[in-house]
Amino acid sequence: MKFRPIIGIALVTAFLFSCGNDTNKAEVESKKEPTVVKDFNFNVEEFADIKVLRYKIPGWENLSLKEQKLVYYLTQAGLAGRDIMWDQNYRHNLKIRKALEAIYKNYKGDKKSDNWNAFTIYLKRVWFSNGIHHHYSNDKIKPEFSSDYLKELLTATNVTLEGEAFDVIFNDKDPKKVNLTKDVDNVLLSAVNFYGPDVTTKDVENFYKTKISPNADKPLSFGLNSQLIKENGVLKERVYKSGGLYGAAIDEIVKWLELAKGVGENQEQVNALGLLINYYKTGDLQTWDDYNVAWTAATDGNIDYINSFIEVYNDPAGYRGSYETIVQIKDFDMSEKMSVLSANAQWFEDNSPLMDAHKKKNVVGVTYKVVNVAGEAGDASPSTPIGVNLPNANWIRAAVGSKSVSLGNIIHAYNNAGSSGRLKEFVHDEEELKLEEKHGQLADKLHTALHEVIGHASGQLNPGVGETKETLKKYASTLEEGRADLVGLYYLYDSKLQELGLVKDWKAVGMAAYDGYIRNGLITQLIRLKLGDDVEEAHMVNRQWVSAWVFEKGLADNVIEKVTKDGKTYFNINDYDKLHELFGQLLRETQRIKSEGDYKAVEALVEGYGVKVDQAIHEEVLKRNEQFPSPPYSGFVNPVLVPETNDAGEITKINVTQPDTFDGQMLEYSKNYSFLPEVN
């Protein structure tokens, strides 16, 4: 599970969680000298609805050369699989990207025209989203230039793009990468390349009904690492593995993982890497589980990583994992401060409002670290989570535990990338503003920690109830993220945090947390939607259904008051104690839904509270937001690790450099990490 930032703007201090200066510089040379950064500039550029940032790698110089090599090899392994994510997102993405990049590099015509500017922005948006569908809304990105202009560019640069791959840029085909609309065939109408174009939701359900795990208590993650297609009318899986689908890129990943294994910090880490390598070579799902057990237990060392086909948010049926990597360096000071949550995980479980039957009697193996990111790829880049809790398999969480991390330097970059004044526009009064300014960042960090460490690790399924992807289907992701949010919200307003030494004023921190969550869930996250759109992204949906449910249930006691002031709408919390109780009631219900696999209840909750938008408020919010030029979405370029070698070719030092431009890094990645054909 991953925790996505709510909003990539100054309001980032109002909950950075959830479980993008235009330039046209030439391609960055692979042996470019390191950029000397004195006064670090977190901002790279802005275009469309995107703000692109940089992040630093604190503590790099304190790592040994062996540790630096480990980080370098792991980041190279991650980048080697970058094109997998592009192809997973849509079947024509690689062909389209190759053509657009060739035009961008080779066009010699008028680069001051409105059409060229529109082409450049379109390409950058495609880069940011790893394809032609928006990274957050899932809508196909619409170019603001004509098909005739693209034909002119193709002719001028002697580049070929034709047929469906050309037409789909401009027509209405495949409009949604992931379509979660109610009462339609979600698999058939989703453009994501996890399924053949003629595969239906019923096909998927019937196919996996026949799959039986050798051990019913340890269900395998069927479908996680494969594409499901029809061949002569018969359903067939194409497995991601060496020699299989995406084999060329996977072989490159394995090459770098083998090097990483050779410089592992300890035997546990080495063993886990060995299992991951075997999984990539064989595609065997039992090996995947064995790897996750070993990886979860390998908690020593300064370096850790996430690598493989992991999160299922992009699959409308909830089976298939998107390729993702994050390489992490431990933040020693913050990890020590926050490890107190892990140490007290059982207390939080025992004192939660869950039904006794749904509480874990023995919460095991929950580890929490604040880490600094050294590199990301796939589904984690350029748009990144700020917190991650893995593995996702419920039985491994129950038997072995889980790892939770907060990406400290990413959060630091968000919080230091400038302010737009949006916060003042959307807070109800001066008291709310002061609470946010004084306690907001701490509330964010604690909610991320509670969400990941306590939230995703809490609760258990009833005996005999299947995995949530089977019982709750397309609602599984948003239910789980909302449930983890609710755990965090429930305990953010609890004196236990002060008793543990995590805060000095638990009530003020909790009030700031509640203000920020309700403000975002009912108002500010609407900035990300076009007028008339439903809420569809899993984390946005969960924030709305949580907020809307407690608002409605508290109407009789005026717990949250809808206020109109000077023609502007606000939601003001009048009774924080009762809101705390309501969060507890909803947490109890969401755990019941998950534990019992109650599909009708989750459908009613999500569709009733999480999807539809009050159009009058939405129109008003968009109008109020027009005064703020800062884009609603943010993401990152990655630092570049550049090794120095001696005459024997041995690495003697690794320098951290910063890319100057977004387009420079994207072109460099395409040059050095394109291991897949255009059609897979």
Q: pLDDT tens across 538-572, in order?
A: 899 999 999 999 999 999 999 999 999 999 999 99
Confidence of residue 420 (pLDDT cuts 50, 70, 90): low
Residues with Cβ < 8 Å from 90, sequence gap 6 or more?
131, 132, 133, 174, 177, 191, 192, 193
Task: Return the pLDDT at 628.
Answer: 85
Confidence at residue 2, expressed as pLDDT on a 0 to 100 scale:
64
* pLDDT reading at 22 higher than 70: no
**Which helix (H) or strand (E) element contains residue 403?**
strand 402-407
Q: Higher model confidence: residue 338 or residue 212?
A: 212
- Find out whether the peptide bond into 385 is cis, omega within 30 degrees of 0: no
C-alpha–C-alpha distance, residues 405 and 295, integer Å:
14
Q: How confident is the model at residue 317 (pLDDT cuts 50, 70, 90)?
A: very high
| Poorest-pLDDT segment among 11-25, 276-290, 372-386, 500-514 | 11-25
Predicted confidence at residue 11, as pLDDT, reads: 40
Query: Are 141 and 127 in contact, with CB atoms under 8 Å apart?
Result: no
The predicted pLDDT at position 418 comes to 65
HEC sequence for 567-579: CEEEEEECCHHHH
Whats the size of the chain, residue-wise?
A: 680
Residue 4 has pLDDT above 80, yes or no: no
Sign, Cα dihedral of 580, 582, 584, 590: negative
Q: What is the pLDDT of residues 399-411, one digit of tens each?
A: 999 998 889 999 8
Single-letter amino acid code for the residue at 272: A
Calpha distance 517→642 (Å, rounded): 41
Note whether 529 and 523 are within 8 A (CB).
no
- DSSP for 171-184 reads SSSS-BSS---TTS
Mean pLDDT lowest among 177-186, 545-554, 623-632:
623-632
pLDDT for 180 beyond 70: yes
How many beta carbons lie within 10 A of that of residue 644, not counting itself? Answer: 10
pLDDT digits (tens, 9 = 90+) for 587-598: 999 999 999 999
Strands 323-330 vs 234-239: parallel, antiparallel or unpaired:
unpaired
pLDDT surpasses 50 at 15: no
| Per-residue pLDDT reduced to its tens digit, 226-271 | 999 999 999 999 999 999 999 999 999 999 999 999 999 999 999 9
Residue 610, φ and ψ in degrees, nearest 5: -105, -15
CB 303 within 8 A of CB 373: no
Q: Could you give the 3-state DSSP secondary structure of residue 305?
A: strand
127-150 pLDDT, tens per residue?
A: 999 999 999 899 999 999 999 999
- pLDDT given for residue 301 in this prediction: 93
Which residue, among 629, 608, 637, 465, has the nearest Cα to 545 in the 3D structure? 608
pLDDT for the residue numbered 337: 72
Between 47 and 528, residue with greater pLDDT: 47
Query: Residue 90 corresponds to which tokens in the numbers above?
Result: 């849509």
The two structure tokens encoding residue 5: 């930032």
Helix axes 476-492, 599-609, angle to 10 degrees: 70
Note whether 394 and 456 are within 8 A (CB): no
What are the φ/ψ torsions at residue 329 (nearest 5 degrees)? Answer: -115, 130
Whether the per-residue pLDDT at 26 is higher than 60: the answer is no
Euclidean distance between CA atoms 59 and 600, whole angstroms: 49
